[in-house]
Structure 1
Amino acid sequence: MGLTFSFQFYDLPLQHPFQISRYTVTVQKTAIVCISDGIHFGYGEATVNPYYHSTQERLKESFIKIQALVEAASGLHPEELWKNIEPILKNDYFALCAFDIAYWDFYARKNNKPLRSYWSDEEAITPLTSYTIGIDSIEKMQQKILEKPWPIYKIKLGTSNDIEIVESLRKITDSVFRIDVNCAWNAEQTIKNSNILRDLNVEFIEQPLKADDSEGMKKVKSESYLPIIADESCQRETDVSICCELFHGINIKLMKCGGITPALRMIKAAREEGLLLMAGCMTESTIGISGLTQIASLLDYLDADGALLLSQDIASGVTFDFGNIVYSNSFGTGAKLYT
């Protein structure tokens, strides 16, 4: 029986306006891909994101380009199909990611296996996920923490009063903080701030400098009082070898690298280089998060809170209990669209 490949766009309203150093989002637009043989279904997701030039129009064009090839691919291993699809979508890795997760999900369900079982023990220990606090007034950031008790918070910074924000948030919780600057600091600021933040129970700093500031990052890596994790500087597989000279670790995002297939190779390469390993999400639904968490046991850190930031989800699947992943009992990723 042949496959069908379909896609649909959704608007995901957020609980709170989500602000980082570059922009603010109140409704996240996303695309859901479905691959099916009429009995088994697999789902993947790609969000619209201005920084990475991901638009609805571009995603639609990409999906139409690969539809016939995917529908003729029944029986192919996901790694083989990814190799066939990547040259067609080499300029749209968000679409490549949505396809790849959907096909892995379909493949695992058809073989009656949880997806994560292909590379790890189903009962393997997984890191806790952080919960993100977007930029806002100090009072509102404090309120978000009080509303959502959590063991680890990722604090978005990139304002004129960043240290004051962290000091104020520290007064109301003993939870671990991770700082994400989204390229808003320079080298001197980062080194100075890392010394202060170390005493405020901050675990690491994510992407403090612009992605093209290699000289600044060399200085920061050698002088920072905290580990520095690459995000915007680590997009594709080829970035891993570059990042080991500039960062202590990398944040792998499936949409940036093109899905689970290349992420597994990036994890292997990063481990060989002795890098700390994190995987993160966009603000996506439980479809995307259920795919992301399949690689969690291979990581040191996890940021998989995208669906927790929504006021209304479109799917069921993986859930979280005070940071702990609770996997679905279903095969594949366990994700299922609400009808």
Structure 2
Amino acid sequence: MQLQIQTFTVHKRFALKISRGTTAQTTNIWIRIEQDGIEGWGEASPFSIGENPQTTEAIARSLQAISPLLKALHPLERQRIDQLLSQARIPSAARAAIDIALHDWLGKSAWLPLWKLWGLDRDRIVPTSVTIGINTPEGAKQRVKDWLGKGTIESPRQDIRALKVKLGSPEGIAADQAMFEAVLEVAPDIEQISVDANGGWTVESALKMAHWLSDRKVTYIEQPLAKGQEAELTKLFYLSPLPIFVDESCFTSQSIPALSDRVHGINIKLMKSGGLSEALRMIHTAKAHGLKIMFGCYSDSSLMNTALAHLSPFADYLDLDSHLNLVDDPFVGAMFESGRVIPNQDPGLGVSLRARSC
């Protein structure tokens, strides 16, 4: 099989600020795997957790290095491909791009969308949240209004039913509380609100915020403590009135057993897991441990979020909104209907290039 690698840059409509920094644009990687006249597409996006960031350059280098070794293999030889990728120790984002492309190729070969190939029910897909980054109270109000189509610019989508609010402000929990109150003021009818601190709290501030947020219609708290502080999650698990989910603390299915006695759920992202194959293993492992499941994203285009949308019938919560916040998404894929990201009926991922006006 032949592997083609191409970079592309996407820009956010609203820059996203979290406890670790702000992102306005990213350069992602589009790969295409061709075999027997069929082309499978995949995507990798850079992300940073801890001391080993996966940069666009590092991901691209690893894909270029593995490309000659894939030529002798067929997309259906998944065990051999997986063994090759494991031996090469390529970054999880690069592995994800290949895995997504192989799934796309398989679905196109079978002339079936992935959700149908897996026998899943699209009616079970829950609404996706849209994200409100760390901001001033007035800035947060404006961002909510923009998402809901009530601001000074045209809303990127209508019928938003869930919000994820980023907290963990460097200015402390007083700033978090002021911002959250501002969000509630302009979104009184939102069905679901979750909070993501991205590891920006201490145990003490997390407990204080958990009790404060429990009175304000919050569904769950995501990653209250920084990666590396998993031992401290036990105290939160027993004392928090709200469920605790982890993101940065959980990469693959191997992470789950050690977390199962101190969290209520996990956030699965394709860049962390290494693709749809491992995401599916994470789903079954989490369910076997009685944990809830959510799906999340980085600065991913419609290609990546459509890929994960095919597994969305398994998820309890969804945060697949990054493509909704792009002004120059090069792809078209999953539909946005009644607040939900729904994969279409086309074979494979069901993703195509967006038509560009001259």
Report the TM range for the smaller structure's normalisation. Answer: over 0.9
Cα distance in 1, alignment partners of residues 330 and 36 from structure 2: 21
Instruction: Give the superposition deviation at 1:38.
Output: 6.1
Cα distance in 2, alignment partners of residues 312 and 235 from structure 1: 29
Cα distance in 1, alignment partners of residues 142 and 245 from structure 2: 27
Instruction: Give the superposition deviation at 1:123.
Output: 3.8
Q: Does 1:299 align with 2:315?
A: yes
Q: 1:275 aligns with which of 291, 315, 339?
A: 291
Normalization by structure 2: what TM-score? 0.90
Which of 103-112 and 39-48 deviates more? Answer: 39-48
Q: Does 1:111 align with 2:110?
A: yes
- 1:98-124, CA deviations, whole angstroms, 9 ceiling, x for partnerless residues? 110011111111111111223233544
- Residue ranges of structure 2 left out of the alignment (5+ in a row): 149-159
Q: Does 1:171 align with 2:185?
A: yes
Instruction: Give the superposition deviation at 1:185.
Output: 0.3
Cα distance in 1, alignment partners of residues 101 and 141 from structure 2: 37
Contact 2:244/2:265 (8 A) holds in 1: yes
Instruction: Give the superposition deviation at 1:203.
Output: 0.4
Cα distance in 2, alignment partners of residues 120 and 297 from structure 1: 10
Cα distance in 1, alignment partners of residues 72 and 60 from structure 2: 19
Share of identical aligned residues, percent?
A: 30
- 1:127-148, CA deviations, whole angstroms, 9 ceiling, x for partnerless residues? 2111011112221211111121
Q: Determine helix, strand or coil for the equivalent of 1:218.
A: helix
Which of 322-331 and 213-222 deviates more? Answer: 322-331
Q: 2:242 aligns with which of 226, 234, 251?
A: 226
Which of 78-87 and 57-66 deviates more? Answer: 78-87
- Residue ranges of structure 1 left out of the alignment (5+ in a row): none
Q: Determine helix, strand or coil for the equivalent of 2:349.
A: coil
Cα distance in 1, alignment partners of residues 283 and 82 from structure 2: 17
Q: Determine helix, strand or coil for the equivalent of 1:42.
A: strand
Q: Determine helix, strand or coil for the equivalent of 2:186.
A: coil
Q: Which amino acid aligns with 1:222?
A: Y
In the other structure, the counterpart of 1:258 is: 274
In the other structure, the counterpart of 2:153 is: none
Contact 2:35/2:75 (8 A) holds in 1: no
Instruction: Give the superposition deviation at 1:165.
Output: 1.1
Cα distance in 2, alignment partners of residues 254 and 87 from structure 1: 20
Q: Which amino acid aligns with 2:26?
A: Q
Cα distance in 2, alignment partners of residues 75 and 47 from structure 1: 22
In the other structure, the counterpart of 1:235 is: 251
Contact 1:78/1:100 (8 A) holds in 2: no
Q: Which amino acid aligns with 2:104?
A: D
Instruction: Give the superposition deviation at 1:181.
Output: 0.3
Instruction: Give the superposition deviation at 1:74.
Output: 1.9
What is the 5 A alignment of 1:117-132?
A: 117-132=116-131
Q: Does 1:156 align with 2:166?
A: yes
> How many residues are treated as equivalent by the alignment?
336
Cα distance in 2, alignment partners of residues 118 and 196 from structure 1: 44
Instruction: Give the superposition deviation at 1:79.
Output: 5.7
Contact 1:78/1:107 (8 A) holds in 2: no
Contact 1:290/1:333 (8 A) holds in 2: yes
Normalization by structure 1: what TM-score? 0.94
Which of 71-80 and 297-306 deviates more? Answer: 71-80
Contact 1:46/1:94 (8 A) holds in 2: yes
- 1:303-335, CA deviations, whole angstroms, 9 ceiling, x for partnerless residues? 111101111111011121242123223101111
Cα distance in 1, alignment partners of residues 121 and 349 from structure 2: 12
Contact 1:318/1:335 (8 A) holds in 2: yes
